[in-house]
Structure 1
Amino acid sequence: MVTASDPWQGHDVTALFTVLLTGTAVLVGLTAYLCSRLTRQARRRSTAATVWRDVSLAAVAAGLALYLWGLLHLLFLGDQEQAHVCERERPPGTPALVGRRGDFLPLRLVCEASDGRDYSVVVPGYINPTLTVLLLLALVAAAASGLLHHKQHTPTRKKG
């Protein structure tokens, strides 16, 4: 049994499966919605606010797909394989390994050395930086959509 104080714990398998299943369902729903926005009828009714909203949702969908891709890298490695990867990818001059931990945010598997240093393995290095960029894009697009929507539905006052 793995306890919270176990220095060799990776990602909790139950949490990993839960996030994978839930994330996949959300991604399918987002993709279906975004595809529905490509119909001729939907495009005719588009406003600047709805386009920015859809850009935001597309960035969220891309980020979610990328996050799920990173989770799949972790899913297919058991504890023994994770230990081998930690050992194989240990930087030169790094002393003995004393632990391993799995983080969901940022997504990573961290190998911990006896000198206090640690390093990430398994999850491709491009995932977390790309997720950051996609999150920022989603936030900016959502803010633009909100401002345009507010501007569109706010009555203008006539002078005089």
Structure 2
Amino acid sequence: MALLAEEIVEEWLNRQGYFTIRGIKMGVQEIDLLAVKAQEDGKTDCRHIEVQASMRPVSYISRVPKESQKAGRAANSAKRSADELVQGVAEWVEKKFHRPVKTSLMRTLWNGDWSSELVVNVVKSDEELNLVAGHGIKILRLNEIVESLASNKFVVASAAGGDIIDLIQMGSALKEDA
């Protein structure tokens, strides 16, 4: 599901005129999507987007803090204290968006300000999303992205992920006809 969701988000960005790179590998680190687009004012819009597209989440997006893991807690434990959630989110944001190897690569690709964005589908905890947003991460909803793709009001009519979007829209049309 994650790769399909990334492809849908990439198609959405491409249709808006963004040039994208998806699935950048740096050892064990990965960046889901980078997107760059020239603006009319001569500036460049640079976006770093991570995608979490769970359909039935059983745990949080973030992990139990490293300190708690060292004490024997499972990394993906669904039971967390408020402090563990706060610390786990902080560690997750650092890992996903602020690691020096990632920010250095982004500056090499385009030396400008990059937004940090997270696309989610269904999440276990809205509180966790609020904590993520509190770190300056913009939260986007996958269902809203999919719905916007039906508008056909884009700079680019279709890109590499167009077939997937056609299938989604065909499925929606079949549901409406039933």
* Interval containing the TM-score (normalised by the shorter chain): under 0.3
**Highest RCO, 1 vs 2 (Cα 8 Å, sep ≥ 6):** 1
- Return the TM-score normalized by structure 2: 0.24
Q: Which structure is higher in helix share?
A: 1
**What is the TM-score of this pair, normalised by structure 1?**
0.25
